[in-house]
């Protein structure tokens, strides 16, 4: 299995463990498999039986082995078992799926240590990093950006691990108190929280700027845990497979997925699963008021917003106006033309965006690749949360509400049931929940007292050079 950059016309091959530790490609592109592996009928039948008999970790290992040929199969199986187990996840199924109403299911991705779907990839990433760094005798300094849940999931997955430090950028004041407490309450010597003066897109831009400094990246061994890292998407493919198997009885049935998304990572994994041959009918992109992705799938115009134009909403993890993983999909959409991809995302996005509205490839977004989209407002989220709580006895977080609202909008126009992928537990967004149902959600016992912990965070200006100086000084002052 070889990997290529979305911006490399020469299609220079790379191996999995190299891109695992490197993250972003040297040319600024994102890595994808040179060819997607295919799932055949026999494999789906085998996996259906394995999931029922042996559980999620076994299916995860089977999927991972399709993408990794430079780690022994036995080691992959052991890594998957360590990543996906109780009590790290508080449900033995890891990703249970429940019926919400006729034709609509919820895939519960919030059973991990930080109560967010990001745990699904981060727990695996932590195991992969520690394994490969130990094998090479190297260390890694992870630099990431978070709009809410990525940061805490990464820090909980990496805390205390050998040969790893984590530097996580957050938009100052833009996360909920619970999200901040989860991150800033950690006092591990290998974890560094940085509150940046800006929005998430600014944090993401700083991460990209640091990665673009090849000398600095090499000298300080900078790696990535954001969804620019291919391993994140690879891990997320697994729960599309397991959810499909749970809601179907045979492989001739199709399922659609509704996915709350801002950075396009979670739903990009669904795109890849569909390309592999998983019987997915439609992939519904659910956005909030920051509707850049919805606009593209409706019109063909991709117009990233400025920081000032990015709205602060009640589904804050989706307050993103420049979707990093969207480059991976556009690369596929335009026939894997690396030169055009580099022009679109290396040049035109910086100048305001690009349009495929007149491009012959654009209709394929819906017709060939199965994408649909919808957007939600704060009122939509509150109404959806209230309705599900009162009528169905299910309490959801605001992001999942965006997904449910989008699923209901498209219900009846897709083949088979829709699985809405849950984003997080409601406790992370108490203010909106209280508005919807008249009271704050209960705090699970495992999170009791989290808001009372002392905070550990450094405030920095929105400046890549300042961040680089902080990273260099912090590395010099700590051992891992």
Q: What is the pLDDT of residues 280-298, one digit of tens each?
A: 999 999 999 999 999 999 9
Query: What is the pLDDT at residue 128?
Result: 96
Instruction: Quote the CA–CA distance of 121 and 230 in Å, as a whole number.
Output: 10
* End-to-end CA separation in angstroms for the chain: 32
* Nearest in space to 376 (alpha carbons), one of 352, 393, 400, 392: 400
Query: What is the pLDDT at residue 273?
Result: 98
Query: What is the pLDDT at residue 386?
Result: 98
Mean pLDDT of the chain: 94
Q: If you average pLDDT over residues 415-442, what whole number do you get? A: 95
Q: Evaluate whether 264 touches 292 at the Cβ level (below 8 Å).
A: no
Instruction: Quote the CA–CA distance of 210 and 145 in Å, as a whole number.
Output: 12
Query: What is the pLDDT at residue 179?
Result: 84
| Percent above pLDDT 90 for the chain | 82
Instruction: Quote the CA–CA distance of 213 and 469 in Å, as a whole number.
Output: 13
Instruction: Quote the CA–CA distance of 32 and 106 in Å, as a whole number.
Output: 28
Of 31-35, 62-66, 222-226, 388-392, the one with minimum mean pLDDT is 222-226
Q: What angle is formed at CA 201 by the lines to CA 197 and CA 206, rounded to 5 degrees? A: 70
H or E stretch including 107? strand 104-107
Per-residue pLDDT at 360 exceeds 90: yes
Per-residue pLDDT at 277 exceeds 90: yes
Q: If you average pLDDT over residues 449-461, what whole number do you get? A: 89
Q: If you average pLDDT over residues 13-18, what whole number do you get? A: 95
pTM value? 0.92
Confidence of residue 165 (pLDDT cuts 50, 70, 90): very high
Q: If you average pLDDT over residues 430-445, what whole number do you get? A: 94
Query: What is the pLDDT at residue 382?
Result: 98
Higher pLDDT, residue 373 or 177: 373
Helix (H, G, I), strand (E, B) or coil at 311: coil
Residue 85 token pair: 């187990």
pLDDT in tens, 384-397: 999 999 999 999 99
In the numeric block, the tokens 């036995």 are attached to 74
H or E stretch including 195? strand 191-196
The residues annotated as belonging to the active site are 118
Per-residue pLDDT at 147 exceeds 80: no
Of 5-19, 136-150, 256-270, the one with minimum mean pLDDT is 136-150
Residue 263 token pair: 């950075």
| Percent above pLDDT 70 for the chain | 100
Confidence of residue 370 (pLDDT cuts 50, 70, 90): very high
Tell me if the bond preceding 87 is cis, omega within 30° of 0. Answer: yes
pLDDT in tens, 90-145: 999 999 999 999 999 999 999 999 999 999 999 999 999 999 999 999 999 999 98
> Is the sign of the CA dihedral 25, 26, 29, 32 positive or negative?
negative
Per-residue pLDDT at 205 exceeds 80: yes
Per-residue pLDDT at 480 exceeds 80: no
Instruction: State the pairing for strand pair 255-260/164-171.
Output: unpaired
CATH of region 97-114+230-437, choose from 3.40.50.300, 1.10.287.110, 3.90.226.30, 3.40.50.1100? 3.40.50.1100
Instruction: Quote the CA–CA distance of 118 and 52 in Å, as a whole number.
Output: 24
Q: If you average pLDDT over residues 202-215, what whole number do you get? A: 90
Query: What is the pLDDT at residue 11?
Result: 95
Per-residue pLDDT at 6 exceeds 90: yes
């Amino acid at each position: 299995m070889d990997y290529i950059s979305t911006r490399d016309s020469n299609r220079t091959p790379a191996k999995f463990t190299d891109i695992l530790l490197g993250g972003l490609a040297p040319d600024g592109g994102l890595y994808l498999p040179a060819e997607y592996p295919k799932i055949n009928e026999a494999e789906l039948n085998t996996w259906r039986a394995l999931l029922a008999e042996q559980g999620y970790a076994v299916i995860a290992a089977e999927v991972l082995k399709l993408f990794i040929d430079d780690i022994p199969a036995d080691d992959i199986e052991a890594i998957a078992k360590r990543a996906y187990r109780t009590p790290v996840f508080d449900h033995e199924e890891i990703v249970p799926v429940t019926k919400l109403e006729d034709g609509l299911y919820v895939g519960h991705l919030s059973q991990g240590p930080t109560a967010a779907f990001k745990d699904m990839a981060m727990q695996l990433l932590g195991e992969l990093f520690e394994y490969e760094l130990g094998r090479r005798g190297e260390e890694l300094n992870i630099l990431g950006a978070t709009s809410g849940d990525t940061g805490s999931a990464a820090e909980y997955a990496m805390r205390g691990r050998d040969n790893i430090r984590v530097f996580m950028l957050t938009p100052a004041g833009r996360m909920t108190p619970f999200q901040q407490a989860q991150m800033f309450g950690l006092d591990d010597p290998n974890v560094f929280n940085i509150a940046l003066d800006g929005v998430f897109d600014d944090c993401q831009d700083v991460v990209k700027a640091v990665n673009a400094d090849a000398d600095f990246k090499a000298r300080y061994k900078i790696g990535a845990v954001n969804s620019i890292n291919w391993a994140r998407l690879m891990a997320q493919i697994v729960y599309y497979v397991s959810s499909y198997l749970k809601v179907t009885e045979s492989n001739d049935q199709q399922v659609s997925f509704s996915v709350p998304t801002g950075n396009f990572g979670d739903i990009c994994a669904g795109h890849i699963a569909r390309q592999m041959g998983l019987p997915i009918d439609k992939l519904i992109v659910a956005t909030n008021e920051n509707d850049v992705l919805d606009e593209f799938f409706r019109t063909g115009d991709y117009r990233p917003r400025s920081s000032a134009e990015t709205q602060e909403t009640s589904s804050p993890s989706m307050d993103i106006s420049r979707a990093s993983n969207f480059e991976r999909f556009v690369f596929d959409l335009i026939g894997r033309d690396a030169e055009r991809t580099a022009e679109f995302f290396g040049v035109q996005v910086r100048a305001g965006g690009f349009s495929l509205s007149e491009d012959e490839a654009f209709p394929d977004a819906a017709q060939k690749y199965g994408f649909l989209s919808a957007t939600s407002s704060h009122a939509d989220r509150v109404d959806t949360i209230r309705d599900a709580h009162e009528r169905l006895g299910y309490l959801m977080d605001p992001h999942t509400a965006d997904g449910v609202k989008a699923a209901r909008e498209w219900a009846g126009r897709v083949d088979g049931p829709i699985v809405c992928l849950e984003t997080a537990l409601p406790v992370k967004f108490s203010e909106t929940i209280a508005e919807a149902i008249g009271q704050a959600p209960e705090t699970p016992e495992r999170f009791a007292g989290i808001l009372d912990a002392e905070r550990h965070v450094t405030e920095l200006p929105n400046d890549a050079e300042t961040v680089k100086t902080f990273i260099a000084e912090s590395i010099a002052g700590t051992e891992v």
